[in-house]
């Protein structure tokens, strides 16, 4: 266990307005890492609070809208699967060698994107469906910054 104490004192000029001490505890079973490595590893993976907030507010997976336990369980599973589809879209987004830096940044932003932003960028794409000559064509009616990654993902799938 690593205990990290921080002095968060607020100062105005040379005067200290108030002192606030915060303690952070990091628990690990890796005996090979130093204390600094344990703290850096934990800070690199501390996105779980954001994940829980997205499951509560964005996807509403922890919302219980129905009156039976099984129906609420099914609702939670479907919402969590929708969240997983978002993550898989980010992981499956192809990266071309020529534009590797930009594509890696798009992939990272897609994996960390909030669910409502994902809905607007990838699901609620305004299209016109045109049927004719034994074909169905989709015309995209609006351009957005995520349209390029959307078509790259579509080609990959």
Each residue's pLDDT tens digit, 7-33? 877 777 777 777 778 888 888 888 888
Q: pTM for the whole thing?
A: 0.57
Cα–Cα distance for residue pair 153/122, rounded to 1 Å: 10
Cα–Cα distance for residue pair 156/103, rounded to 1 Å: 14
Cα–Cα distance for residue pair 141/40, rounded to 1 Å: 45
Cα–Cα distance for residue pair 26/4, rounded to 1 Å: 8
H/E stretch holding 113 reads: none
* Buried-exposed string 97-127: b where 16+ CB fall within 10 A, e elsewhere: eeeeeebeebbeebeebebeebeebbeeeee
Each residue's pLDDT tens digit, 107-138? 888 888 888 888 888 888 889 999 988 999 98
Each residue's pLDDT tens digit, 30-50? 888 888 888 888 777 666 666
């Amino acid at each position: 266990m690593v205990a990290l104490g921080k002095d968060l004192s607020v100062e105005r000029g040379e005067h200290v307005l108030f002192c606030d001490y915060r303690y952070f505890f990091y628990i690990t079973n890796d005996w090979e890492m130093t204390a600094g490595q344990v703290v850096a590893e934990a800070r690199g993976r501390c996105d779980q609070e954001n994940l829980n907030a997205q499951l509560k507010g964005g996807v509403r997976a922890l919302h219980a809208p129905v009156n039976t336990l099984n129906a609420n369980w099914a609702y939670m599973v479907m919402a969590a699967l929708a969240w997983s589809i978002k993550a898989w879209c980010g992981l499956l987004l192809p990266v071309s060698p020529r534009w590797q830096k930009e594509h890696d940044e798009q992939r990272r932003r897609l994996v960390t994107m909030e669910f409502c932003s994902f809905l607007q960028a990838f699901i609620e794409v305004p299209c016109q469906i045109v049927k004719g000559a034994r074909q169905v064509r989709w015309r995209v009616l609006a351009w957005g910054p995520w349209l390029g990654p959307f078509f790259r993902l579509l080609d990959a799938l």
